[in-house]
Amino acid sequence: MNHPNVVQVFSSGTDHGQFYVVMELVDHGSLDDLIEQRKRLPEEQVLQSGIQVAKGLRAAYRKRVIHRDVKPANILFVDEQTAKIGDFGLAGVAVRAAETRGVIWGTPYYVAPERLNNEPEDFRSDIYSLGATLFHAITGKTPIEGDANSTIDLRELKKKPLDLRTIAPDVSVTTADVFQRMIAPIPWKRFGSYDELITQLEDAYRALTDRDSVELSARPRRLPRKFLITLALLITMMIPASFWFVRKAREHAAAEARSAELNRQYDETRRQFIAGKHNVARTSFARIAADAKDQQPLYDWALMHEALAALVARDMSQTRQALRAIENAGQTGFAKKDVDLSKFFVASARTFLATGIVPADVGDRENASNFEAFALLLFALEDIDQLDL
């Protein structure tokens, strides 16, 4: 199956009694990684991923294939903007093997109720699982809550899915309605086709991106002409000053909130990197850098960590791209107190980007007791990579 939103499977077989599948490499993490890292994802991002995965599932269904194990771990990212559904082959084989033993296969939170009732499944079962997955991504919670230690308990919980708007009232009504319909306990209450589902998801996405435009439909009550003229003069004098103060206050508050969130994400991503999740970390550092271009030194620190994570993953192209961005940024945007730090970033990037092994005397010039120690680690890893140790 060849589709931009399906992880391509090249071949499969058995070797020494072990089943194997050879598939496309998609190494920018999964939706499960993002949920673990950020708990809740932005509505726009969830809708975008949902549309793409639904298109991938539609392509599979046109070939009479249903997935039967749609969940966050099986939604993979090629880059920041492109999601793919994977593990079709693995899901199918595992499901058949499990069902011969009378076992319910799949993560209980995302399995369609009809599977639990041993009823026939079709594409609407995958729609349920996708809906449960998107519900989790946008709210930070799975759509069922309670003790699911037995199939009987799970059946009962599936009959009463949580209300999305109650958990996440900031989500738009349009999006909430689409997701809630996707996880309807009864199959016929879900969407009747992938075309219908994708249309509704795209409508929700457009409504979200256009919701800042407001229609004014109420007609104002007619007021005396003299009063209107006086009021207009007062407003004309007051608006420029009041608008300026309000705008500045809002801009300052928004900037502080944005900066705090980016720093939180940066700290969380560093913990992910230390925990060994290098591919997830390098993707997140790249995203943070893209969002922090006007916030030094966070921008350069995110790029430095992206370069390090990519170097550990042996992706020299991404490493050099990140360091080139540091070099191009120069010392612009740094406060006076951070002049030395800005010089360190640029010098380190230029040293690394120079061809050949980093000379040993460079280490003598760096102070291993402060931020300059970071460059020593970067240079050492580059030398190891070039020597192929």
Residue 20: phi, psi to the nearest 5?
-140, 155
Domain hosting 41: range is 9-209
Residue 222 lies in a domain: no
Banded pLDDT at 352 (limits 50, 70, 90) = confident
Res 96: pLDDT: 44
Same domain, 202 and 255: no
Q: Kindly state whether residue 32 falls inside one of the protein's structural domains.
A: yes
State the total domains in the chain.
2
CATH of the domain at 127: 1.10.510.10
* Amino acid 228: pLDDT: 56
Q: Are residues 247 and 362 in the same domain?
A: yes
204 and 246: one domain?
A: no
Average pLDDT, the chain: 78
Query: 229-270: per-residue pLDDT in tens?
Result: 565 655 555 555 545 455 555 666 677 777 888 888 888 888
Domain membership flag for residue 223: no
Over range 281-294, report the average pLDDT: 86
Q: In whole angstroms, how far apart are CA 148 and each of 99, 145, 153?
A: 19, 8, 5
Residue where a domain terminates, one of 186, 209, 232:
209
Closest CA relative to residue 75, chosen from 7, 1, 142: 7
Percent of the chain residues topping a pLDDT of 90: 28
Q: Output 184 or 146, whichever has higher pLDDT.
A: 184
Higher pLDDT, 57 or 294: 57
61 and 185 belong to one structural domain: yes
Residue of 277 and 380 predicted with greater confidence: 277
